[in-house]
Amino acid sequence: MSANPGTGIIEKKVLIQASPDIIFRALTEAKEVAQWFCDRATSDPRVGGELKAYWRMGFGGQAQRGRAIFTALVPGAQVELQWIDEGDGVTMDRHTLCYMIRLKRGTSEVTVRDEGPPFADEESCAVLGEGWISVLRDLREHCETKQRSSRRRSAGESHPE
């Protein structure tokens, strides 16, 4: 997809073999977010509610946190967050993160659009673009595992031994 240093916009897509509902929960429910995105999370998934994420970074386990406000939620279709603090305690300017989920040929396509101030240089933009690829891989792995698990549970319920 695209990353444009002059605009501060990064957009990436991934195909995920999971239902839009599983993906939506992975993006909004604290227990789910903590399984693929961070070490610990709290979430109030409603417009105006907060998502707080906590990470232990590096060998020493130094803590980092982030805080965002849900600005749009459409179950199974869209999650939009306005990031207001990325752990340094300084309120951020404009930084919006939007996940769009749509069915495409029997799978779910997830597009993430990260929009903030213009990047300092092309290298910073490229590093963040690569970071988003990694984040989307983690989301895909988590959601596909959840989907397989739910299928096994459903098969087990319909065919008791």
Could you give the CA distance from residue 32 to residue 105 in angstroms, rounded to a whole number? 26
Kindly report, residue by residue over 95-112, the tens digit of the pLDDT: 899 999 999 888 999 999
- Please tell me whether residue 125 adopts helix, strand or coil conformation: helix
Tokens of 142: 């988590």
pLDDT at 14: 96
pLDDT at 161: 44
What number does CATH give the domain 2-154? Answer: 3.30.530.20
What is the 8-class DSSP label of residue 145? H
Using alpha carbons, list the distances in angstroms from residue 72 to 48, 50, 147. 9, 12, 25
Q: Record the pTM.
A: 0.85
Could you give the CA distance from residue 119 to residue 83 in angstroms, rounded to a whole number? 16
- Domain ranges for the chain: 2-154
Average pLDDT, integer, range 71-93: 81
* Cross-strand partners of 53: 41, 66
